[in-house]
Amino acid sequence: MSKPRAIEESASKSDFYPDGFALWALGFRPFYLLASIFAAVSILIWVAQYVGLLPAAYVRSPLWHGHEMLFGYALAVITGFLFTAGRNWSGQPTPTGATLAAFALLWIAGRVLMLTPFAIAAAVVNAAFPLAAAVALVIPFAKSRNRRNYFFVALFVLLGAAVLAMHLSWLGVLAWPERASLQVGLDVVLFIIAVMGGRVIPMFTNNGVPGAQAIRRPLVEKLALGSVLALLGADVLQAPADVIAVIALVAALAHAARLYLWQPWRTFGTPIVWVLHAAYAWIVVYLVLRALAVFGLVAEPLAVHALTIGVIGGMTIGMMTRTARGHTGRPLITDGYEVACYVLVQCAAVTRVFGAMILPHAYLATVIGSAICWAAAFALYAIRYWPILSRARLDGKPG
């Protein structure tokens, strides 16, 4: 089947770079590279500030560290992924060339402004990025009548509202807890991961693992996604803690059942697949820990880091390697570099969550150890994938 005409016209204008440089050819390229560099550098600066080696000049508090990892790192990866997938889904062009470079500069401006006293400018720029991304997605979806994916546009708008609310709360303009804005943002990203996980993990499992029979059950699918939306609604409405705990436990059961149907135990010999299953398993851990945190049985930061490191970190590193390989004409296999990235992210999650739980007296050591593992994983990715992301596809195709 030939490519849609809109894609071919876009490719002839901006997607193909005969000189071999292709950083601006498709959305995943600059945003995966920027996100990996930022993930490695920012976490080292933050932990140095956290342990007192640096003055409090990077971010003001753990909440704003969360802001940068969610609205900085995670949002960059999601944007790069959807700019790439959106083109395939719609058959229409998504940002490339100078437009894509402008998006990258807007994201960079948001990170730089967080280091300055210009709080209003930081609020405007950080809110503008997801809203601009929403516009960039709605155009190809509308042209192709791709209604199935309109909800991604709504989720980007919600992320824009969450980040703006967080800034306005800090400025004293909005009577809304900063932590609530961060939690809403986390819920939105969790929903995006749950949706995309349901679409691709069973398919990747069946395609990549001989004998696997990953399946989806409509009732389980509806309960898994619906429970995350219920959790999002509860957080927006600031529902009582016990209501949130009940929703989280129901969601944990639904996602555990969903993962079981995908047969994760069959994927151990295929790293490019098991990394996605491992990341999804952290959703269950996060939801259980969030419920337990309501009753004071575990510290809330442990639940948060099960989501941010285990789920978001694990899923993004898995998709960043897989989609970068697939969209540059490379085989969907892993070498020692990729496996090291996967293992390091899992070590970061286990150390930060279970290490701190088992060794509370060594809490600071677990924070440092986790940060080193995380930074090493994404630094390794940036070094390994820099040439892959910046050069033209091996097969000569656009993108």
Residue 143: give its domain's CATH number.
Answer: 1.20.210.10
In sequence order, what are the residues at sequence separation of 6 or more whose Cβ sits closer than 8 angstroms to the Cβ of residue 365? 359
29 found inside a domain: yes
What single-letter DSSP state applies at residue 21?
Answer: B
395 found inside a domain: no
324 found inside a domain: yes
Q: Would you call 306 helix, strand, or coil by DSSP?
A: helix
Q: Would you call 248 helix, strand, or coil by DSSP?
A: helix
Query: Cα(247)–Cα(239) distance, rounded to whole angstroms?
Result: 11
Query: Cα(228)–Cα(78) distance, rounded to whole angstroms?
Result: 18
Q: 296: left (phi > 0), else alpha (psi -120 to 50), else beta?
A: left
11 found inside a domain: no
396 found inside a domain: no
Which range marks the domain in which residue 352 is found?
A: 20-390
Q: Which of 36, 27, 110 is nearest to 67 (CA)?
A: 110
Query: Cα(338)–Cα(331) distance, rounded to whole angstroms?
Result: 13
pLDDT tens digit at each of 399 positions of the chain: 334 444 443 433 333 444 589 999 999 999 999 999 999 999 999 999 999 888 877 888 999 999 999 999 999 999 999 999 999 999 999 999 999 999 999 999 999 999 999 999 999 999 999 999 999 999 999 999 999 999 999 999 999 999 999 999 999 999 999 999 999 999 999 999 999 999 999 999 999 999 999 999 999 999 999 999 999 999 999 999 999 999 999 999 999 999 999 999 999 999 999 999 999 999 999 999 999 999 999 999 999 999 999 999 999 999 999 999 999 999 999 999 999 999 999 999 999 999 999 999 999 999 999 999 999 999 999 999 999 999 999 988 888
Residue with tokens 């992924």: 81
Query: Cα(364)–Cα(230) distance, rounded to whole angstroms?
Result: 34
CB atoms within 10 A of CB 387: 9
Render pLDDT for 349-370 as a digit per residue (tens, 0 to 9). Answer: 999 999 999 999 999 999 999 9
Q: Which amino acid is at 14?
A: S
Q: What is the dihedral of CA 295, 286, 180, 121, to 10 degrees?
A: 150
Q: How many domains in the chain?
A: 1
Q: Which of 77, 66, 229, 94 is nearest to 155 (CA)?
A: 229
311 found inside a domain: yes
| Residues in the chain, total | 399
CB atoms within 10 A of CB 296: 8
CB-CB contact of 348 with 43 (8 Å): no
Q: What angle do CA 350, 238, 258 make, to 5 degrees?
A: 45
Query: Cα(32)–Cα(35) distance, rounded to whole angstroms?
Result: 5
Query: Cα(297)–Cα(289) distance, rounded to whole angstroms?
Result: 9
Q: What does the block give as tokens for 345?
A: 């992210």
Helix (H) or strand (E) holding 279: helix 271-294
Q: Which residues pair with 391 in a beta bridge?
A: 21
Q: What does the block give as tokens for 100?
A: 């894509």
Render pLDDT for 238-251 as a digit per residue (tens, 0 to 9). Answer: 999 999 999 999 99
pTM value is 0.94
235 found inside a domain: yes
275 found inside a domain: yes
Query: Cα(301)–Cα(305) distance, rounded to whole angstroms?
Result: 6
